């Protein structure tokens, strides 16, 4: 068995993890270990983000304006200190990325920016065409490589447990997927940068490896989760016809740029019917409202054929489409889609998690030695994330966590490291079960009853289904240890985390008897002032408490 | 429509064997869509690589289709026999999965 030691252990090599690694070395860490379950800088959500990035870097803008918009979108639940860090440090990171030649689109001397919904001005920068996430990933990966041997990169490692010694996290236990062997890692500072939980849902916009594992790792290590009921659904996920080779949420920037029309099954505008703005070429309807409108229109029997809404660009001259979509026009043609002629179908798709690990503005959890960064963190976006804030959050929190981790590591190596039971789990051998089918079942349960619209009865049904899956899962992964790329076993280890995280979402959603932002209770349709509180979850038993929103 | 996937199975050092899986598909679906469905419906131990589902962002899903290198997430299922094999010039992990991480990112 391999044992590794590091000053700073970073779990997840998306935007947050890579920025954290770079910053940790800048702040003096000498041995940073950057892990990912797939390949470094290629998995996770960052590389998938084809959208825009919000940052107050334009003339006349100020991060406080961005903060005001972020807090408004959050429906009263955001932690203002975390949100301020996102907006202020985020802007600095966007400029640093520019120095690193990420390739932000330009307009004259300045960065080009579009106005996304919920922003008071054009504040969202991007890389053409639909290339924001890949460009951010590539740039950070190049910077990580430039740092040299102080950052050791290691792909295909799935961390299964954190090691806690005398109340502090002192490292982790992991499965090396390529060999099937267990791996232990000792480090005085560990950063959870594992992203969100979109894999819990059947239709989702991120990578296959967003299983919510960071939330489960944090819970089991004794840290606190916050706002777990708030899962963001992106209203305009691609639904039909089958579109491959492209991110399913690619349509949105074109809606801003060109004014695509959202229509129901009868080809009528409908957003205004459900409290949105009749759009008329302006995109002011927020994500939660648009999700609501599409869902309700379908319930009323006026959806598009596959159960979504039509998105149409057919009123736009071909030359304009060509100019805006660039090479994407050809990719669409390969999928049989001609936008001058065809509408496409869109529907809400699991996209982002507002909830997550509770941290202070230095990204420290309640457990010494453990930090979090990026989407894994809860609290900055409250009940609804403003569009464009996810990459900004990844970069700003990654940088902050990297600095803090370096400070921690400077206090010296860990004093104790006993992997114990966590290691036994990776050496155990249980009966064969079809873990891929169980993942699919969980995704169905979550989509049906823990989507954007919830009821007590639906949530209770989901809780029972999760408990049943838990019982079926048993106590040991199927197969034998030491098998290369054993996906059945890996799915078992993922399910162990996913079921705990699903239970956390369900528990928080069941308890919040109101509707706010991404959490809509059909049995409690009003937003209520007495519910302007954050819900916290602790321990594997998911003990729930409430706390006033930080001032 | 219905496709038959003839998939090379087995790990390093084992004699490779070919297994046949039939599956129904909707026009436009990718080979990766089919493989992922087979794991759910037929054999959860079927091994292949992917991270980004179908965005062609992670570049992990390369394999051979009828002897030619493809991305499984952008090659489409067709109503015929399709023969899938691991990349020939990479170290085999299992079934269709090979070692593709850059050398300095391996254990
Ligand atoms: S699955 Fe990511 S490129 Fe094919």
How does pLDDT run along chain A (551 residues), one tens digit per residue? 899 999 999 999 999 999 999 999 999 999 999 999 999 998 889 988 877 899 999 999 999 999 999 999 999 999 999 999 999 999 999 999 999 999 999 999 999 998 888 899 999 999 987 789 999 999 999 999 999 999 999 999 999 999 999 999 999 999 999 999 999 999 999 999 999 999 999 988 877 889 999 999 999 999 999 999 999 998 889 999 988 888 888 887 777 778 788 999 999 999 888 876 655 545 567 777 888 899 999 999 999 999 999 999 999 999 998 888 888 888 898 888 999 999 999 999 999 999 999 999 999 999 999 999 999 999 999 999 998 999 999 999 999 999 999 999 999 888 889 998 899 999 999 999 999 999 999 999 999 999 999 999 999 999 999 999 999 999 999 999 999 999 999 999 999 999 999 999 999 999 999 999 999 999 999 999 999 999 999 999 999 999 999 98
Give the total number of structural domains in chain A. 2
CATH number assigned to the domain comprising residue A433: 1.20.58.100
Report CA dihedral (A317, A330, A237, B53) to the nearest 10 degrees: 180
Distance B56 CA to ligand 1 centre (A): 4
Collapsing DSSP states into helix, strand and coil, what is residue A292?
A: helix
Collect all residues of chain B within an 8 Å Cβ-Cβ radius of residue A440.
Answer: 40
Cis, bond preceding A241 (omega within 30 deg of 0): yes
Collect all residues of chain B within an 8 Å Cβ-Cβ radius of residue A182.
Answer: none
Residue B46: the pLDDT is 98
Residue A326: the pLDDT is 85
CA–CA distance, B100 with B90 (Å, rounded to integer): 7
Residue span of the structural domain in which A267 resides: 237-348
Where is B10: in which H helix or E strand?
Answer: none
CB atoms within 10 A of CB A540: 12
Residue A512: the pLDDT is 98
Residue A253 falls inside a structural domain? yes
Q: Indicate the top mutation candidate among B30, B73, B84, B97 to test ligand 1's pocket, ranked by most ligand atoms within 8 A of CB.
A: B73
Collect all residues of chain A within an 8 Å Cβ-Cβ radius of residue B58.
Answer: 38-39, 42-43, 47, 207
Q: Is the ipTM of this complex over 0.85?
A: yes
| Chain B: residue whose CA lies nearest to A182 | B107
Looking at the structure, do residues A429 and A544 belong to the same domain, yes or no? yes
Looking at the structure, do residues A540 and A426 belong to the same domain, yes or no? yes
Segment-wise mean pLDDT, segments of 10 residues, chain B, 107 residues: 97 95 94 97 96 85 98 96 97 97 94
Residue B96 and residue B21 in contact, taking contact as beta carbons nearer than 8 Å: no
In this complex, do B50 and A208 lie within 8 Å of one another by their Cβ atoms? yes
Which CA distances in Å does A102 have to A128, A133, A460, B18, B31? Answer: 11, 10, 46, 45, 32
In this complex, do A244 and B76 lie within 8 Å of one another by their Cβ atoms? yes
Collect all residues of chain B within an 8 Å Cβ-Cβ radius of residue A175.
Answer: none
3-class SS string, A381-447: CCCCCCCCHHHHHHHHHHHHHHHHHHHHHCCCCCCCCCCHHHHHHHHCCECCCCHHHHHHHHHHHHH
Residue A457 falls inside a structural domain? yes
Distance A405 CA to ligand 1 centre (A): 32
Q: How far is A487 from chain B (nearest CA, A)?
A: 6
Count Cβ–Cβ pairs < 8 Å, chain A vs chain B.
Answer: 130
Taken in order A69, A363, A204, A382, the sign of the CA dihedral is negative
Q: Which residues of A414-445 are buried (b: 16+ CB within 10 A; e: fewer)?
A: beebebeebbebbeeeeeebbbbebbbbbbeb
CA–CA distance, A415 with A170 (Å, rounded to integer): 8
Residue A217 and residue A211 in contact, taking contact as beta carbons nearer than 8 Å: no
Nearest CA-CA partner of A273 in A282, A261, A264, A286: A264
CA–CA distance, A224 with A384 (Å, rounded to integer): 20
Looking at the structure, do residues A428 and A343 belong to the same domain, yes or no? no
Residue A335: the pLDDT is 86
Task: Give the atom of ligand 1 at the shortest distance from the alpha carbon of B54.
Answer: 1
In this complex, do B40 and A436 lie within 8 Å of one another by their Cβ atoms? yes
**Cβ-proximal residues to B14 (8 Å cutoff; 6+ apart), any chain:** none
| Chain A: residue whose CA lies nearest to B13 | A484
Q: Indicate the top mutation candidate among B36, B62, B71 to test ligand 1's pocket, ranked by most ligand atoms within 8 A of CB.
A: B71
Residue A312: the pLDDT is 93
Collect all residues of chain A within an 8 Å Cβ-Cβ radius of residue B74.
Answer: 244-245
Q: Is B71 in the pocket of ligand 1 (CB under 6 A)?
A: yes
> End of a domain among A348, A381, A406?
A348
CA–CA distance, B29 with B21 (Å, rounded to integer): 16
Which CA distances in Å does A49 have to A44, A249, B43? Answer: 10, 8, 32
> End of a domain among A317, A348, A379?
A348
Residue A499 falls inside a structural domain? yes
Collect all residues of chain B within an 8 Å Cβ-Cβ radius of residue A38.
Answer: 49, 51, 58, 60
In this complex, do A486 and B45 lie within 8 Å of one another by their Cβ atoms? yes
Distance B11 CA to ligand 1 centre (A): 22
Among candidates B26, B55, B105 on the partner chain, residue whose Cβ is nearest the Cβ of A246: B55
Residue A126 falls inside a structural domain? no
Collapsing DSSP states into helix, strand and coil, what is residue A155?
A: coil
Q: What number does CATH give the domain B2-98?
A: 3.10.20.30
CA–CA distance, A421 with A161 (Å, rounded to integer): 10
Residue A50 and residue A131 in contact, taking contact as beta carbons nearer than 8 Å: yes
HSE-CB of A164 using CA atoms within 13 angstroms: 15
Residue A246 falls inside a structural domain? yes
Collect all residues of chain B within an 8 Å Cβ-Cβ radius of residue A130.
Answer: none
Q: How far is A332 from chain B (nearest CA, A)?
A: 12
Residue A72 falls inside a structural domain? no
Distance A330 CA to ligand 1 centre (A): 19
Task: Give the atom of ligand 1 at the shortest distance from the alpha carbon of B50.
Answer: 1
| Chain B: residue whose CA lies nearest to A203 | B53
Distance A466 CA to ligand 1 centre (A): 29
| Chain B: residue whose CA lies nearest to A46 | B57
**Cβ-proximal residues to A477 (8 Å cutoff; 6+ apart), any chain:** A425, A426, A428, A429, A430, A489, A492, A493
Where is A16: in which H helix or E strand?
Answer: helix A15-26
Q: Which of A36, A39, A185, A327 to mutate to test the interface with B (most CBs of B within 10 A)?
A: A39
In this complex, do B44 and A491 lie within 8 Å of one another by their Cβ atoms? yes
> End of a domain among A326, A348, A370?
A348
Distance B62 CA to ligand 1 centre (A): 8
DSSP states of A65-114 as a string?
HHHHHHHHHTTT-S-HHHHHHHHHHHHHHHHHHHHTT----EETTEEP-B
Question: β-strand A157-165 against A32-35: which pairing, if any?
Answer: unpaired
Residue A58: the pLDDT is 95
Looking at the structure, do residues A432 and A340 belong to the same domain, yes or no? no
Distance B33 CA to ligand 1 centre (A): 11
């Amino acid at each position: 068995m391999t044992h590794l030691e590091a000053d700073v252990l970073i779990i997840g090599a998306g935007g947050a993890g890579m920025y954290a690694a770079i910053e940790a070395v800048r702040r003096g860490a000498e041995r940073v270990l950057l892990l990912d379950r797939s390949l470094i800088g290629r998995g996770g959500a960052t590389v998938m983000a084809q959208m825009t990035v919000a940052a107050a870097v334009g003339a006349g803008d100020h991060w406080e304006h961005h903060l005001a918009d972020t807090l408004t979108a959050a429906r009263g639940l955001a932690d203002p200190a975390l949100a301020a860090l996102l907006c202020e440090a985020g802007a600095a990171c966007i400029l640093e990325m520019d120095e690193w030649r990420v390739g932000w689109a330009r307009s004259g001397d300045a960065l080009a920016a579009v106005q996304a919904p919920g922003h008071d001005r054009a504040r969202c920068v991007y890389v053409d065409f639909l290339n924001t996430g890949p460009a951010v990933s590539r740039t950070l990966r190049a910077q990580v490589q430039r740092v040299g041997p102080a950052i050791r990169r290691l792909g295909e490692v799935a961390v299964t447990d954190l090691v806690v010694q005398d109340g502090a996290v002192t490292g982790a236990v992991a499965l090396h997927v390529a060999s099937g062997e267990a791996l232990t890692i000792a480090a005085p500072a560990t950063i959870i940068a594992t992203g969100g939980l979109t894999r819990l849902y059947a239709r989702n916009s991120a990578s296959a490896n967003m299983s919510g594992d960071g939330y489960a790792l944090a819970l089991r290590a004794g840290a606190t989760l916050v706002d777990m009921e708030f899962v963001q659904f992106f209203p305009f996920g691609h639904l039909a016809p089958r579109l491959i080779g492209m991110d399913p949420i690619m349509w949105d920037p074109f809606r801003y740029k060109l004014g695509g029309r959202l229509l129901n099954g009868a080809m009528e505008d409908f957003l205004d019917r459900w409290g949105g703005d009749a759009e008329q070429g302006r995109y002011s309807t927020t994500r939660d409202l648009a999700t609501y409108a599409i869902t309700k229109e379908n319930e009323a029997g006026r959806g598009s054929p596959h159960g979504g809404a039509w998105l149409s660009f057919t009123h736009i001259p071909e030359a304009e489409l060509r100019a805006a979509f660039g090479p994407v026009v050809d990719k669409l043609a390969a999928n049989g889609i001609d936008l001058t002629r065809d509408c496409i179908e869109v529907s809400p798709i699991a996209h982002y998690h507002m909830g997550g690990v509770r941290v202070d503005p230095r990204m420290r959890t309640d457990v010494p030695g453990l930090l979090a960064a990026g989407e894994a963190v809860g609290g900055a976006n409250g009940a609804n994330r403003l569009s464009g804030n996810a990459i900004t959050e990844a970069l700003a929190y990654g940088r902050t966590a990297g600095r803090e981790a370096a400070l921690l590591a400077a206090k010296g190596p860990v004093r104790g490291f006993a992997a114990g039971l966590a290691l036994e789990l990776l050496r155990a051998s249980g009966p064969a079960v079809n873990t891929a089918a169980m993942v699919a079942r969980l995704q169905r349960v979550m989509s049906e009853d823990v989507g954007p619209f919830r009821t007590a009865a639906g949530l209770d049904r989901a809780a029972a289904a999760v408990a049943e899956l838990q019982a079926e899962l048993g106590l040991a992964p199927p197969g034998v240890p030491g098998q290369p790329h054993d996906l059945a076993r890996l799915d078992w280890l993922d399910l162990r985390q996913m079921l705990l995280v699903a239970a956390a979402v369900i528990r928080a959603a069941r308890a919040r008897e109101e509707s706010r932002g991404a959490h809509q209770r059909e049995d409690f349709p009003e937003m209520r002032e007495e519910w302007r509180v954050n819900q916290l979850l602790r321990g594997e038993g998911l003990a729930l408490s409430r706390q006033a929103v930080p001032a | 429509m219905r496709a038959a996937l003839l998939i090379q199975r087995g790990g390093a050092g084992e004699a490779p064997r070919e297994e046949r899986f039939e599956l129904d598909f909707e026009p436009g679906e990718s080979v990766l869509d089919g493989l992922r469905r087979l794991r759910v419906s037929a054999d959860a131990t079927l091994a292949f690589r992917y991270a980004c589902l179908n965005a062609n962002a992670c570049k992990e899903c390369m394999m051979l289709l009828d002897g030619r290198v493809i991305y499984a997430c952008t090659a489409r299922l067709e109503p015929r026999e399709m023969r899938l094999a691991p990349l020939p010039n990479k170290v085999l992990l299992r079934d269709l999965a090979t070692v593709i991480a850059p050398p300095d990112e391996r254990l």
